[in-house]
Amino acid sequence: MNSHSNQTDFDYAVIGAGYAGVSIAALLQKDGRKVALFDSHSTIGGCAGYYKRKKFFFDAGATTFSAMAPHEPVGKVFSLLNIKPNLIRLDPGMIILLNDKELIRYSNPDQWMESTTNFFQNSQKSQESFWKHMDVLNRRAFEFLDIPNFLPIRSLNDIFHSLNIKNLNYLSLIPSLFRSLKSYLNPSLVSDELFYRFLTEQLMITTQTGPEHAPLLTSAMGLSYPSSTYYPIGGMSKPALKILEKFQNDGGLFLKRTQIRNISHDNQIYKLESDSNSFLSKGIVSTLPIWNMKNITDGKIQAYYTRFTKKYPQGPAAFTVYFGVQTKIELKTCYYQIHLREKIPFTSAGAIFVSFSHPDDLEKAPEGFRTVTISIHTESEYFLRISKEEYQKRKEEVKLAILKEFDFHFPDLASEEKLFLEAGTPSTFEDYTGRMEGRVGGIAHSVRPSLLSLFPNRLPFPKFYQGGDTAFPGQGIPAVLQGSLQIYRNINYYDN
C-alpha cells in the first residue's frame, strides 16, 4: 500500500463508472476539482456496458436512450459538459407486439392517440384523456426537475435551499407520488385486460413494478419516454465514453480494474483501499448499489447503509440473450417489446425486450448484419446458490424459450444463423458488473415506501454522496443522470 502524509490524493473519489459515476466525475472535474474515478471492470458503462466478439459489439442490456431535451437530465448533462453524442432519433420509438398485432409507439401525439385508440377498442373513449394527462404530468415533472431543488428533503437546509417561487408552482405534483397509477385509472381502462396488460409490461421497463404499486407521477414519465427515443451509434456505452474522454481531457484520473474493498473515515479524510493500493480523498461519491456499499464501509456509515438495505432487501435482476444475425429485412424501429404467448420458467415478467442495432451502425456490426440483445426480468434466487448442473439446465431452458418467442415474432430471421449466441443470468451480471447477486434493476418505484424515502443523494457524513440506481430518484439512464445532477447541485451548495 502507498504511504500518505496529511495531504489527500483527491477532492472527490467517485466509485463506479456507469452513467451515474462517469457523469458526476466529469461535472466535478470540469469545475477544477481533483477527481478520481474507480471501476472494477475493464470497460465503463455499468449496466449500459458492452462486450466484443470479433467485429460485433454487444450492449450488456437491452435498454434505450431518452430525455435528451435541453431541460431534461440527459440533455442537460451533455450541455453542461459541451458534448454532442452521435444519436439517431427513432420514430417510432418502440413497437409493442401484443396478441400477434403491432402497437406502434409514434413520437407524434396525434399518431400515437390514433394507434392506441384503434388497438384498445374496449376502452377507446378513455384513451385520449388518459394519454393527455400522462403527457401533462410527464412535462411538468421534467419542468420541476429543471429547477434547483434538494429532494429528497433531509434537513432544514434542504427546505431552505428548495424555497424557490418556481418550485411552489409544482406542489400539485406531490400527491401523484403517493397515489398508484391503478387508483387513477378510469374503470374502463382497468377492465380492459389487454390495455392493463400493456400498462403492466411497459411499467416493468421503467418503474420496475406494475400499476398497483407504481406512483402515478413516475408512471407518467415511464409511459411517455418512448415518444422521444434515441439510438446511440456504436452502442449504449458510446455517449458514456464521450463523457469519460471529457473527464480525462480535463485532468481526471480513471482507474479501471481497481475494485474498492474498504472505505474508512478518520479526521475528515476518507481512505479507500483496493487489493494493491490505498487512496485518500476529501469526499466520496459512490454509485455502487447500496447492498454493495454496506459490505465495504464500517462504523456509522455501514450502519446507515444497513438500515436502508433492510428497507429494500432486494432488487430486480435480468436474463439476457445475445447474438448477431445477417439480415436485409427492414425493421420499423430498433426496439421491440414482445408480450409472451406463455410464461417462461424462472422469469418474472410477461414480456421480453428486444434491441436491434441500427442498420447504419457499422460500429456495432458489419454491413448486412445486426446485433440483437434480448432481456427479461428474473429473480436472482433462480440462478444463485444452486448446483452447476441445475444452473446450466435453467439457463438453457430460459434461453431456448426466449429464442422460440423471438423466432415466432420475427419469422424472416428464424432460419438465419445466430452468431456468437450467448446468454446472461444474474450470476453473469454479478461477475460482469460486481453488483451483489446481479441485481441490475435498481430499486422499483412504489407508493410504499415512497420515492421520497429512497436512499438520499447526500449522506449525513462530511462530503459523502450516493448516486446510481439504488438512490434517489431511481433506475434508468435519465434517472441516474438526474441523481448526478442532484449530487452536483448539493456539492456546489454545501461543500464549496
On the CB side of 291, how many CA atoms lie within 13 Å of its CA? Answer: 20
- Could you tell me what percent of the chain has a pLDDT over 70? 95
Rounded Cα distance, 71 and 65, in Å = 16
pLDDT value at 6 more than 60? no
pLDDT in the model for residue 459: 94
Q: Quick one: 95 and 218 in the same domain?
A: yes
pLDDT in the model for residue 5: 37
Listed residues 231, 261, 281: the one ending a domain: 231
Q: Quick one: 202 and 259 in the same domain?
A: no
Per-residue pLDDT of 291-301, as tens digits, reads 999 999 999 99
pLDDT in the model for residue 326: 97
pLDDT in the model for residue 332: 96
Average pLDDT of the segment spanning 6-15: 85
- In the block, cell 417510432 appears at 92
Q: Note whether 80 and 71 are within 8 A (CB).
A: no
Per-residue pLDDT of 241-300, as tens digits, reads 999 999 999 999 999 999 999 999 998 899 999 999 999 999 999 999 999 999 999 999
Q: Quick one: 241 and 181 in the same domain?
A: no
Angle at 470 between CA 41 and CA 482, to 5 degrees: 95
pLDDT band at 163 (very low <50, low <70, confident <90, very high): low
pLDDT in the model for residue 160: 64
Work out whether strand 35-38 and strand 87-90 pair parallel, antiparallel, or are unpaired: unpaired
pLDDT band at 377 (very low <50, low <70, confident <90, very high): very high
The alpha helices in 43-89, defined as continuous H runs, are: 73-80
Report yes or no on 59 lying in a domain: no
With CA atoms as reference, report the closest residue to 478 among 175, 190, 63, 165: 63
Report yes or no on 409 lying in a domain: yes
Rounded Cα distance, 336 and 358, in Å = 13
Residues 6+ apart with CB under 8 A from 494: 157, 458
- In the block, cell 434461453 appears at 399
pLDDT in the model for residue 494: 83
Answer with the residue of higher pLDDT: 80 or 207. 80
Rounded Cα distance, 61 and 378, in Å = 13
Answer with the residue of higher pLDDT: 432 or 198. 198
Q: Quick one: 322 and 408 in the same domain?
A: yes
Per-residue pLDDT of 300-312, as tens digits, reads 999 999 999 998 8
Q: Quick one: 320 and 221 in the same domain?
A: no
pLDDT value at 379 more than 50? yes
Q: Note whether 179 and 447 are within 8 A (CB).
A: yes
pLDDT in the model for residue 171: 84
Neighbours of 474 (CB within 10 A): 24
Q: Note whether 222 and 198 are within 8 A (CB).
A: no
- Could you tell me what percent of the chain has a pLDDT over 90? 78
92: left (phi over 0), alpha (psi -120 to 50) or beta: beta
Q: Quick one: 305 and 451 in the same domain?
A: yes
pLDDT in the model for residue 149: 72
With CA atoms as reference, report the closest residue to 71 among 173, 143, 149: 143
Phi then psi dihedrals of residue 410, to 5 deg: -125, 70
On the CB side of 179, how many CA atoms lie within 13 Å of its CA? Answer: 13
Q: Note whether 26 and 81 are within 8 A (CB).
A: yes
Average pLDDT of the segment spanning 337-361: 97
- Helices and strands (H and E) in the chain: how many: 17, 19
Report yes or no on 54 lying in a domain: no
Q: Quick one: 243 and 257 in the same domain?
A: yes
Q: Note whether 373 and 237 are within 8 A (CB).
A: no
Report yes or no on 56 lying in a domain: no
Rounded Cα distance, 37 and 22, in Å = 7
The alpha helices in 97-254, defined as continuous H runs, are: 109-119, 124-145, 156-162, 165-168, 181-184, 187-191, 193-206, 216-224, 238-249
Predicted TM-score (pTM) of this structure? 0.93
Report yes or no on 186 lying in a domain: yes
pLDDT in the model for residue 202: 96
Residues 6+ apart with CB under 8 A from 5: none
Q: Quick one: 474 and 400 in the same domain?
A: no
With CA atoms as reference, report the closest residue to 398 among 386, 408, 390, 387: 390
Alpha-carbon dihedral sign for residues 106, 112, 118, 120: positive
With CA atoms as reference, report the closest residue to 107 among 377, 259, 333, 354: 333
On the CB side of 143, how many CA atoms lie within 13 Å of its CA? Answer: 13
Average pLDDT of the segment spanning 97-124: 95
Q: Quick one: 329 and 458 in the same domain?
A: no
In single-letter form, the type of residue at position 442 comes to G
Report yes or no on 58 lying in a domain: no
Rounded Cα distance, 284 and 272, in Å = 9
Mean pLDDT of the chain: 92
Range of the domain at 365: 316-438
- In the block, cell 415466432 appears at 408
Diameter of the chain measured on Cα atoms = 72
pLDDT in the model for residue 433: 85
pLDDT in the model for residue 159: 65
With CA atoms as reference, report the closest residue to 363 among 95, 88, 94, 89: 88
- In the block, cell 424555497 appears at 163
Listed residues 200, 231, 262: the one ending a domain: 231
Residue 272 belongs to domain with CATH number: 3.50.50.60
pLDDT in the model for residue 4: 43
pLDDT in the model for residue 161: 62
Listed residues 438, 461, 486: the one ending a domain: 438
Per-residue pLDDT of 407-454, as tens digits, reads 999 999 999 999 999 999 999 999 888 889 989 878 888 998 887 888
Q: Quick one: 215 and 286 in the same domain?
A: no
How many domains, the chain?
3
pLDDT value at 204 more than 80? yes
Q: Quick one: 307 and 449 in the same domain?
A: yes
Q: Quick one: 294 and 343 in the same domain?
A: no
Average pLDDT of the segment spanning 137-156: 80
Report yes or no on 55 lying in a domain: no
Q: Note whether 15 and 286 are within 8 A (CB).
A: yes
Report yes or no on 458 lying in a domain: yes
